[in-house]
Structures are given as C-alpha cells and as structure tokens.
A and B are shown apart, each in its own frame.
Chain A
Amino acid sequence: MRALTILAVLVFAASSDGAVAETGDAERGAKVFRQCVSCHQVGEAAKNRVGPHLNGVFGRLAGSVAGFRYSDHMKRASADGLVWTFETLDAFLENPKSLVSATRMSFRGLKKAQDRADILAYLRRYSDKPSDIPESEPTLHLGGPDLDPAVLALQGDPDYGEYLSSECTTCHQADGSSQGIPSITSWPAENFVVAMHAYKQQLRPHPVMQMLAGRLSDEEIAALAAYFGGLD
C-alpha cells in the first residue's frame, strides 16, 4: 500500500484520442523513441539497463526477458498472461499504470496516438516473428482502454461504493493488507478507474477481474474508486 502512494505523484495521462485508426511511421518512431533510450535499448547488442531490452517485444509474454529484475506487479501481470501485442503495448505506452499498477516504469505516457503508433512501428523492426513485420500486419491503432473523458470525470458516490465494495472485500482486504492479492485502498481515483476499465475491456488479463469489472457500470466503477480511495 505504501508503494501505491507513490503513484499519486505520477502525472497521469487520460486517453482522449478516440478510436481513430493510426498508421505508424517507423522513421518518425525512431525519433520519438529517443525519450526511451535512457532506460531501454533495442537493436543489435541491446542489453537490459534500467528497463529490459526491447528486441522481440511483440508477441512476448510480459516480464519474461531473462536476467531482468521485474517489479512484483509486472511479475503478476506476466503470470496472469499479459502478452505484448499492438493493443497492449499501445495501452501501456499511453499510461503504463493502466496495465501494470505499480510498474517501475515511471513514464508519464505518450498522449498522442500517432506518437505511440510510430514508436510501435519502429519497435516492430526488432521483433522477429514474421507476423510482426510492419508490412504483414498494419500497425493499426485499435484503442484502449478507450475512455471517454466524461467517464474519467465522473464523481463517484462513496456510499454506493461502500455497498459495492462488499463484492471486492471477499478477496481484497479493506484494511489495505495484501497477501497474494493486491491492496486496492488509497489509490488515486483516476488510476483505479483506468485499471478497472482496462479489465473491463480485457486489456488487463486476469479472469476474475475481467469478469467482475465486466459487469460494473461507469458509475459503479467511479463509486468504488471514491470509496476505496478514501480508505487507508
């Protein structure tokens, strides 16, 4: 739970580009990628540095580069079966916390869909599966978690959230302790909302959470975020 308070200070980028299809430009992507190189290497002789190397990232199980020490949250996403596809990488680049809550990748995210599409087109050059080369599969932006700004702006009712929370507290402890199941108290509301929508849209891979989030309305997610955000 303490680690999560760190999240609060990280600037958060909301998705607002809509679901417009974007085609990536790898040459431009190489330039956009410059903001990543202090942590990530890609290409011949790329090594793990602050972040893992990015060769072959497409189609790879998250958190699976040999020799790299991942955060517990990235390990969890990996065990849940998060695979890096265009869609999941796009969501991760837009806001890393939306997919992996306490990832060590302290990057505020790329707001522009075109920037993400360009970087991904560039990274595809270093992914060796034939289906990953740009010509065989257009680097289309399919969006996600695709959130209307109005959804993010919803003010949740914490009393309603308290009622709904009883479904969560069968597994997640209300006092914030975590043993095998993550703490969900004291999260900034935006992180909570985006994470829940990422489950609802099946970008985050956990089956229990996909199922439970899948039947929550926008208002219910906002109410839960308001309630759990107020617990410490």
Chain B
Amino acid sequence: MSGRRLTHDLFFYLGMLLIFLPFMGGKVAYLPVVFAAVWGLGRFVRFAGENRGIVRFREGVVTAVAERQRLAIALILAVAVGLPFVSSNYLIEVLTSALLYAILASALNITVGLTGVLVLGFIGFYAVGAYTTGILTAKFALCNFWVALPLSGLAAMLCGILLGIPALRLKGDYLAVVTLGFGEIVRIFLTNLDRLTGGPNGILGIKRPSLGPFTIDQPREFYWFALAVLALVVLAVARLVNSRYGRAWIAIRENEMAAAALGIDVFRKHLLSFSLSAFFAGIAGSLFAVKQGFISPDSFTFYESVLVLCMVVLGGIGNVTGAVTGAFLLIVLPEFLREFAMYRMLVFGAVMVAFMVFRPHGLLGSRLIAREAVDREDAGAA
C-alpha cells in the first residue's frame, strides 16, 4: 500500500470516527476497535471479490445442486416435515413464522425479482389479508377460516390492482415510493378506522382453523399447514417462472424497451405480477392472523416491508429458493443471537449496505444473472 493511500485511509477513517463521536459519550474507547474491524473486513471482502475462486466455487455448488435437484428438494422437504418431531414448541413457533415470511418473500420475489419492480410497502397487502380474515372470522364472525382464506387473498389482490393501475405507469424509485405510501396509508387507516379494525388495539380472539372434527391447533399442526401452503406457493412461483408469463416478466426486467418491441404488453404483465404477489401476500396475512389469534397495526410497519425485501435480496434477487433461504436466515439466525438483540438491527443495516456493495446478486443469485456476471468478468479478464 502506497503512502498516499495510507494517508487517505487514515483521514477517511478518522473523519468517520469524528462524526460518530458526539453520540458515543463514555463508549469512545470502543470506536477504534470497531473501525479496525470494519476496515479489515472491507479489505478482506475486496480481496475475496478480486480473487474469483469464490465465484467459481459458488457456481460449482449451484450446478451440483441443480443436477440433483429432485433429490435435494425431496431431502429438504423430508427434513422440513420431520423437524417438528425433534424441536421444542418454541422452536416450532419460530420456524412457523419463518414459513410465513418465506411465503411473503416468495410473493415479493415475483415483483422485485422477476419483473424488476421495487415494492416498499409490501406489508400493506399482508395487512389487508390479515385484517380481512380477522374481520370476517372474529370481529363480525361472518364465515369460517376456509372461506376467509381465499377472500383475504382476493382482497389483497384487489388492493394490488387498484394501486397498480395508476402506480405501475411509473417506474423505478417513483413506483417504490408510491408503494411505500400505500403501506403507510393502510397502517394509518387500520389505526383510525376503529369500528371496522378495532383501531390501535386491533382484533382479538381469531380462532385457529378447523375442518370437520379436526382443528389445526397444536403448533406442530399449524407448522405443517403453513409448510403445505409454502410448498404450494413455491411450486406456483417455480411453474410461473418457466411459463410464458415468467419469461415475459424476466424479459421486462432485463430490458423493458426490447420486451415491448417484441410485443409484450408491459403494463398488463406488470399488473399481473403485481396482483399475483399481492394475492399470495394476502394468503400469508390470513395465515398470520389465525396463527397469532390477534392482530394490530403494530405488526405491519415499514420495517416489516424492509425485512421481507431483505430476504429477497439476501437470498438472491429472482431466485425462487433464494427467497425461502433468505426468510429462514433472517428469522431463525437472529433467534440464536438473542444476547446481541440490541445490536442486531445495527448490524443488519450495515450488512445490507455491505451486501449491495460487495455481493449485489445475493447469496444464491438468479442463476441467469450470476452466469452473466461471471461471463462478463471472464470477458473482462481476457
């Protein structure tokens, strides 16, 4: 490292120290340690990125998994089904909420991953689904869960269409901000429409679903129920990816103008992906309502939207299994880091930035994008 580089780095990191100083009070002594760690990590990741062996290795793993895909899926499913027999009720609860988030992430993956439309208020659809079930089954007791479940999906889908028709004419950041506004509007209405939604107190006493003599009551039973729904959603998304629609979505993501020139009705395809992902989010919301038995606007904050987005991004944008992996990582891992609960979100934010800077394609990445990236790097090296 040249002297000039060193001076530059020194000033750079000293300045960084300076801006955090006013907040630190008595904890100033930790600062140099933290910054040394950050600096070292940054250097290491840059080094790793420059040495493409890691990329190669990952490609190899991805291909190996792809070749034995059926076997791998069967294995994962077997483990997933068998897991509740060996876990405590607490762990099952955690896993169940990871399953719900996995459904959400898979749904969001349709818009963010496949169509390339960023949605920031996604939790709004989840909230609409949860409240539809809450209002129909508990607040006014109009019908049972099995009727409310599809209705919740449809209600969320309707919101998706109503929001999508004007909003999808916008692009990129603008669209993202409009969806963010939608999420906030939903939350504010839920808080203030007291008669319908119970206001800030929410809706209590939502019953677990039952079918004839069977009630899905035990945590274990509900886990399997959620797993079955997740499997259906993942299957649906995986089938969609390889259908005409999925191809059209990917075409739009890669180059909208070219897609339009090839005769793809961009707006209608956008609307379809948007409303479909709203539908699945509504279904997940309905499950959430019966799982908790109680819903309030606090469960549907902007932070939740960001969390789901991170699952999609962490797993690899556009990758079906990636979204599920991301959901499990972000829900289950923090449970093991309980002692660091306070610093969890701080690290989370920093990791998000680092991920975007160093690994923009996520852990698994859409294989299509990943391969292209490798090709490009090879072309650059040649």
Is B truly associated with A?
no
> Residues of A with Cβ closer than 8 Å to B?
none
